[in-house]
Amino acid sequence: MDNLLWRWRGVNKEGASCEGMVWASDKINASLQLMDDEVQPFMLKRASINPRHWGSEHKILAIRQLAALLQAGVSLTQGLMMLASQHPIAQWRALLGELAKQLGRGVAFSETLRQWPAVFPPLYILLMRTGEMTGKLDVCCQQLAQQQEDQQKLRKQVIKALRYPAFIFTVALLLTLGMTCFVLPQFTAIYRSFNTPLPLVTRAVIALSEALIQHAALWLSVLVITPVVIIRLRRRPQWQLREAAWLLKMPLFGALIRGQQLSQIYTVLSLMQRAGIPLLQSLGSVEETLASPLWQQAVGRVKASIAGGLPFWKALEQESVFTALCIQLVRTGEETGSLDLMLEKLAEWHLGQTSERAQTLAATLEPLMMMVIGLIVGTLVVAMYLPIFRLGDAMSGMN
């Protein structure tokens, strides 16, 4: 359905003025919904939707509050209505109220969430469906909130680890371009007046400067076209597979990506195993929650191997994306009947390791990037001033 947000003002059946928001595909449906609620609207107009308000922080807060209400004995419909009445963001008030309405019509909670793919990713739908099947919706809500908080914290650590090196690299690039395109040409005119051979490093830097200036239009075209080409290529499944495989092979960064993905996989598997969901069904659900085609296909092949009669650990052994520790602990879990516990330990271990790697990466890259900047700036300064120093030495020798 096309979810559009409408702001309304009207009067209820008692004749009192009221206002609010409603989700509907068009203005007519919005009016019909209000009339069903015994509200006569006299103002109805489109309201803007802020995508930032659908962010992880808001979803985690809503699902954690819902879990607390369910554990306190409040019904799901009543809990959603309570959250809707208290939420500070208008579009969330309208959304929670709409979810409560759908429940009142007999629609399952997981199915109501499925109607909002822009807000709730597959993992939310999966765990809510698991909670409905097992009668432990409050537990699943609490576990989902915890899993999302852990993943969000890990994601922020990874971004923080990469942000500083990216900033330093950008500064170094702009500094190099500025010096080679604007400062160095001023020195080049001075060098030519010397009528003496220039040092090799100076000649190399001058050649680079002239190439950048003479072919500026070409470099600008490449700078504009390259991101467009990459964006289009990333829409192709084959390119996505190659990109994911290449990222996994990158030093330092590959371990971060692998750890984050494995943490998510084992967390979901652990939750579903504790809920009593069969392993094959759990793997199928995990496959739906993964965004990367590479990991989707790996989990799909594991599921097919298990369906063909292989043990879980043996199926993992055939996929290079899974670590030796994964195989060892899963094998132990299968042999001892404690697979859910081992999956939980794997999720915790990968989460902790990836968090430590992110912190180590930041500490490692900072001095490395400073060395790179120092090397670039030092080379440019030496290239610019070395001919002047040599000319001064030559003149001193003549005197």
**Average confidence (pLDDT) per 10 residues, the chain, 399 residues:** 78 84 86 85 86 89 92 92 90 91 91 90 86 86 87 80 78 81 76 74 84 82 87 83 87 84 89 83 87 91 94 93 91 91 91 84 78 84 79 54
User: Residue 268's pLDDT is what?
Assistant: 85
CA-to-CA separations, 33 to 42, 46, 79, 182, in angstroms, rounded: 14, 15, 22, 65
The 10 Å Cβ neighbour count of residue 198 is: 18
Asked if 72 contacts 82 with a C-beta cutoff of 8 angstroms, the reply is no
CA-to-CA separations, 159 to 153, 156, 194, 359, in angstroms, rounded: 10, 5, 50, 11
Q: Provide the token pair at 129.
A: 């469906």
State pLDDT tens for residues 205-220: 888 888 888 887 888 8
Which residue in 354, 231, 339, 237 sits closest to 292, CA to CA? 237
Strand-pairing partners, residue 19, are: 9
User: Residue 296's pLDDT is what?
Assistant: 92
> Which alpha helices (DSSP H) does 6-72 contain, by range?
27-36, 56-71
Let me know the angle formed at the C-alpha of 141 by 136 and 145, rounded to the nearest 5 degrees: 150
Q: Tell me, what amino acid is at 237?
A: P
* CB burial readout 284-316, b (16+ within 10 A) else e: ebbbebbebbbbbbbbbebbebbeeeeebbbbb
User: Residue 386's pLDDT is what?
Assistant: 80
What backbone phi and psi angles, to 5 degrees, belong to 306? Answer: -65, -40
Q: Provide the token pair at 285.
A: 């659900």
User: Residue 398's pLDDT is what?
Assistant: 47
CA 33 and chain centroid, separation? 36
Which residues, at least 6 apart from 90, have a Cβ–Cβ distance to it below 8 Å?
7, 21, 47
What stretch of H or E contains 148? helix 137-178
State the pTM of this model.
0.72
As a three-state string, the secondary structure of 242-257 is HHHHHHHHCCCHHHHH
User: Counting beta carbons within 10 angstroms of the beta carbon of residue 70, is it exposed (0 to 12), middle (13 to 18) or buried (19 or more)?
Assistant: buried
Q: Provide the token pair at 337.
A: 């009947």
What backbone phi and psi angles, to 5 degrees, belong to 290? Answer: -85, 135
